[in-house]
Structure formats: C-alpha cells, structure tokens
Chain A
Amino acid sequence: MRSGSEASQERVVEEKKARMNSWKDNVSGYLFIAPMLIGSTILILYPIVASFILSLTDWNFVSGLEGASFVGLDNFITLFNNPVFLKGLVNNFILLLVVPGGLLLSLVLAVIINKNVYFKDGFKVIYFMPYISSTVAIALVFQVLFHPSEGPINQFLMSIGVENVPQWIADPAWALPSVMIIIVWTQIGFQLILYIAALQNIPPELYEAAEVDGASALYKFRKITVPLVTPTTFLLLIQGIVHTFKVFDLINVLTEGGPANATTIPVFYLYEQAFEELKTGYSSAIAVVLFIILVVITITQWFGQKKWVNY
C-alpha cells in the first residue's frame, strides 16, 4: 500500500519533472531560433510576398503610396512584349552553355589532379583563386585584357598572325562569349573541388578491376568516373544554371548590358528598371518571373535527382 502510493508519488514527480523539462525545452527552443526566424521573416519572407503584390501594381516608389494603382497582369504583358527583356532571356539561355562546357573541363582537371600529380592541395588553391576573388576586380582586369586594339590578348593574337582579331566586349557578337569565358574561369575552382571530393568516394577496386581487364584510360573515364560522379554533376548543373541567372556584378561592371543589349540578362534589366527607371511595380514583375524560373529549376532538382542520378 505504502510502496504503491510512494511509487505513484514518484510517478507524479517524474511527470512533473518531464513536464517542466518539456516546458523548458519549448521556451529555450523558441528563444534559440527566434532571431533567425524573426529576421528571415522580416527580411526575406515578407519581401517575397510583397514582390508578388507589387508586381500587380503600377507604382513609382518616389511618388508615395497614393501614387500606386492596381493594374492586374498588365506588367507581365508589357514585360513579355518588351524586346530588351526578351533579349535578356535569350542571352540568359545562351549563357547556360557555360555550364556543361565548364563541367566537362572541371571534371577532366579533377581526374588529373586527384590521382596524377604531386602537391594536390597546391593545385586546388590555384584553380580556386578566381572563385574567391572579387568580381569587380576581375571585371576591371578583363576590361583591359580584352581591350580591342591595345589589350594583351589581342596583341598576342596579332603577334602569332591572327588577322581580324575579335573585338571582345566591344563587339555585340563577341560580348556574350567574352562574358562566358570569364564565368567559366571563375567557376572552375568551385566545380573542381566538388568533383575531387566526389572522386575520392569512388572505390579504387573498380578501377583496379578495369585495369586487370586491360581497359584504356578513356574507357575508365567514360564507364566508371562519369557515371559515378553523376550526383555531383547534377548538383553542379543546377547550381551552374541558377548562377547564370544571378551574374549581376560581372555584367554591371564589365559591359552594363551592352553593346546594343548584347549582354543584358533579366537580373540586370531588373536592376535598371528598379533603381534607375524607378518602376517599382514593373520591376517587381521581373522579380516574380525570375523567382518562378529559379523555383522551377530547384524543384526539377528535387525530382530529377531520383530519375537519372546513379547512386
């Protein structure tokens, strides 16, 4: 009897303790995430909702709130009839070509560096340097390097006998390829490092078995390396695509979208419309389109991953 009541008393104490604990857990749990949650709600979640609402208005924020009017989907209709925006979208899709090209180059370099060189870490550092360097500084350097008549690149090309050297960023036909060269150059280090990490996870027995069968280096590359790094390739592919939609710094410093809109892309057009033309509603519509494109790409990542990635 006595022991029974003692036991139940103990249970009550235990439960009380547990309740105290879970109460304490809740309070500390919320306290710990509060800054993060409040900050991102105010600075990220609220603005994305606001972007959607603003995209339905005609408004210049300098004119104050009373200047705003609801225009439905008009901004989107104007946007998809605007030649500069459409040109920007086309340019952005051309820019996507840097992704597969850069990935192949990075993978080949990664394979060489991973197994076949001394001072592996040194090579990682070399190829990673452009990635961590300031885009503004890089853009300034390439502005001079690409100088049509006196730049070192063209002087070199002329000295080895190339006639009709490209005018690089001064020529509408060459401006976008010039930007693409710089993007590949800055991104290689990042892709290389992820590929090296992936290569280290491939069991060496696979290569040993292939060698016993007399497989060539190219065969091993195509049949073992490429398939086994597909998860990384997929990740890099998606991130590379997303990155091309965000290359605002390079465009703004190097070409300002020119010449003749040859290098304009939607983020640059967004910046011009928002902060130079002060078209708040219209630029929000661009933001919404950009957001939707990137969300679709990200969702593709989640679903596509399961379909063609070999784990």
Chain B
Amino acid sequence: MEQVFRRINVSKLLVTIVMTIVGIIFLLPFLWMISASFKVEAEVLAYPIEWIPSTWNAVENYKEVWFGSNSFLLYYWNSIKVSFLTTFVSVFFSSIAAYSFAKIHFKGRDVLFLIVLLTYMIPPQAIIVPQYLLYSSVGLIDTHLGLILLNSFSAFGTFMLRQFFMGVNDEIIESAKMDGAGHFRTFFSIALPLVKPAIATYAILRFIWTWNDYQNPLIFLRSEHLYTIQIGIEQFADAHGSIYSLMMAAAVSAVIPLLIVFVVGQKRVIEGISLGGVKG
C-alpha cells in the first residue's frame, strides 16, 4: 500500500516536471520579450539567444519608454483613469439593475430583462459606425467621457450579478423592508455586501477588458494627450519603428501591470471566467 502511494507521487512529480517544461516553452514569447527589453539594440536578434543579456541596457530602454518623446507616463495615467472610472460606473449600473431584476417585483420586468439580454448578442463591430455618428453629433468624440460611457452598460455584468442576487435569501430582504428600509438602503446595506465576491470578480474582469481595449480608443480618440496605453504603445512602435529593444520595453510596460492585477486576483478572475463562461 505504502509503495503504491509512493509510486503515484513519483509519477505525479514527473508529470509536474514535464508540464513545467511545457509551461516554460509556452511562456517563451514573454520571456524573450522581457529579456530583449533589457538589451542593447545590437544584441536583441543575436543568435544563439542570450536569455540573460551580456550588456545591460535596461535603464536606458525603460527611461526612453517612460520619459521619452512618447511618454508612457501620460498613456498610463489615461489608461488608469479610463479603466478605473469605467469599472466603477459599470459595476454600479450593472449591480443596481441586477438587484432590481433579481429582487424587486415590478411590471414588465421579464420583458425588460430580455431587452438587456438582447444587447449582449450584438457584436460591438456591427454598431461602431452609428456610435461614431452619434458621438460626433453630441461632441463625445475625442473625450474620455465618451470612451468611459461606451463600456459602462454591460449586459454581461447585469446578467452575471443578477445570478448572484437571486441567490440572496428573500427573507433577509423582506425583514429589511419590515424594518422600514427602502430598496435603496436594502440594496446598499444588505444585498450588496452579500454578493461582494461576485462584484469583485466582475470589477477585475471589467478592468482587464477596459485596459486592453484597443478598438474603441483607436476609433474614438484623436488627440495624443488622451491616448490610452494600447494606442500609445502602437504610436510608440510607429515612432521607434525598428528599434526592437525599445518596442519590447514598451510591450513589457503595457503587459506587466495587468499581470500583477491578475496574479493578485487570480482566484477571483478564474472563478469569474468559470462561472460566466464569457470572454471580453
């Protein structure tokens, strides 16, 4: 018995080692990117690949990315601003709508919920031209407000959070009502705290999606001082054309903060993806 136990562990260990090697190969593009971003330009494409640079140029490369002519400081600030505000507004709108659809009995609820679900089926590319026309007629082109509004009305968020609010016990809601609490107070002080994990999951997902959004800033932003990171990095790459070490430093700068958000919140993100089965 003991021998069997040990044999299983050995095979599990072997598989773990093999899978670790596969995993490293899988991540080679990332490792190459990070390594190249530390190098002097002349050594970026040298072969055999020097995974650990022989000549370090990291400080100069990153200095150019962060404080050079296309400063990432500005793009970062814009992205942080847009991503946080979008996440906040979207979570707020989706959660109050979700609570209402789950816990308040009002006329026409099911039909209205169906309408919200319908919007989920519409691919963003199919409506981008009319959205652009609408935005130019009300002056929202080239504004962060316009960009934030575009991602603030999420059928996915509403649907996902509604599932969780439906799991909240009706008696808790009823007893709050008995105590004279209105829906607003019941929502904030009772229902919302109960679905906190779901809110966190949706907030992280929304943040990632907004941070990585490329198409909307590309179409709706004109002025460089408003550019978010995804447009900024393209702009930077265009300006520094074939200087690969700088391009890789820029790519690292665009990817790393999100990887940190992800590694910190990975349990929530993975849970959320498994539950929603949805992609951005």
Contacts and interface: CB of A to CB of B under 8 A. Distances in A.
Contacts of B273: 190, 193-194
B279 A32 contact: no
Nearest to B125: A267
A46 interface: yes
Interface in A129-187: 129-130, 132-138, 140-142, 144-145, 147, 150-152, 155-156, 159, 185
Interface in B13-48: 13, 15-16, 19, 23, 26-27, 29-30, 32-33, 36, 44-45, 47-48
A26 B119 CA distance: 23
A36 B106 contact: no
Interface residues of A, number: 92
Interface of B: 11-13, 15-16, 19, 23, 26-27, 29-30, 32-33, 36, 44-45, 47-49, 93-94, 96-97, 99-101, 104-107, 109, 112, 115-116, 118-119, 121-134, 136, 149-150, 152-153, 155, 158, 182-184, 187, 208, 211-212, 214-215, 218-219, 229-230, 233-234, 237, 244, 247-248, 250-252, 254-255, 258-259, 262-263, 266-267, 269-270, 273-274, 277-279
A24 to B, nearest CB: 8
Given A32-B97, A46-B130, A145 B32 contact: yes
Given A32-B100, A116-B15, A249-B214, A44 B127 contact: yes
Nearest to B259: A129
A236 B229 CA distance: 30
21 contacts: A28-B100, A29-B104, A44-B119, A44-B153, A48-B122, A50-B133, A123-B23, A129-B30, A130-B29, A134-B233, A136-B233, A136-B254, A140-B237, A155-B49, A185-B26, A190-B273, A239-B277, A242-B123, A246-B124, A249-B215, A284-B129
Interface in A259-280: 267, 270-271, 274-275, 280
A138 B109 CA distance: 43
A239 B47 CA distance: 39
Closest 3 CB pairs of A and B: A29-B106, A32-B100, A47-B130
Interface of A: 22, 24-26, 28-30, 32-33, 35-37, 39-40, 42-48, 50-51, 54, 61, 112-113, 116-119, 121, 123-130, 132-138, 140-142, 144-145, 147, 150-152, 155-156, 159, 185, 188, 190, 193-194, 196-197, 232, 235, 239, 242-243, 245-246, 248-249, 252-253, 267, 270-271, 274-275, 280, 283-284, 287-288, 290-291, 294-295, 298
Given A140-B251, A275-B219, A294-B121, A150 B45 contact: yes
B133 A125 contact: no
Nearest to A133: B255
Contacts of A291: 122-123, 126
A212 to B, nearest CB: 15
Given A239-B279, A284-B129, A36 B94 contact: yes
